[in-house]
Amino acid sequence: MANILILVGTESGNGQLVAEAVRDHLVPDGHAVAITEKAVAVADLAGHDTLLVVCATHGSGDIPSNMLPLHQALERDKPDLSGWRYGLIALGDMTYQDTFCGGGKQMDAVFRKFGARRLGDRFEVDASTQPLPDEDAVEWVKEWKALI
């Protein structure tokens, strides 16, 4: 069973909703699951073998302010992340065509850059067609958890 840390990047709460909904589908399988909006350094990932990044996009393709320090710390410290596997749920809105899911894409890129192995494809949720992002995320996690 995996020891999963769900990392939430959110400004207005959808990320938290999604994190709680997917947690509720992982725990019954026997996985240990913690959720945090406060990870700011690689030390905060310790003790978890699997990460699930849930990251909204704000501004113009930007990472939410609570997750930005983690991105900056990874770019600065260049840690070896090869011991981690991760999944990625990006929350965005196609109304922002040019920057759709930019925050999640940046987090995906930084984890890959430093050696973490992504399980499955990045999952992108479009708020312009899906006002309830947790519903789509739950469907996705049912397949993702088979990869853990």
Ligand X SMILES: Cc1cc2nc3c(=O)[nH]c(=O)nc-3n(C[C@H](O)[C@H](O)[C@H](O)COP(=O)(O)O)c2cc1C
The residues of the shown chain that bind ligand X, judged by CB under 6 A, are 10-15, 56-61, 64, 91-93, 96, 99-102, 127, 133
**Which CB, 44 or 126, lies closer to ligand X?**
126
Question: Which residues, in sequence order, are CB contacts of 97 under 8 Å at separation 6+?
Answer: none
Smallest distance from ligand X to CB 88, Å: 14
**Which CB, 48 or 64, lies closer to ligand X?**
64
Smallest distance from ligand X to CB 82, Å: 29
**Which CB, 2 or 89, lies closer to ligand X?**
89
Where would I find the H helices in the chain?
14-26, 68-77, 102-113, 133-144
Neighbours of 1 (CB within 10 A): 10
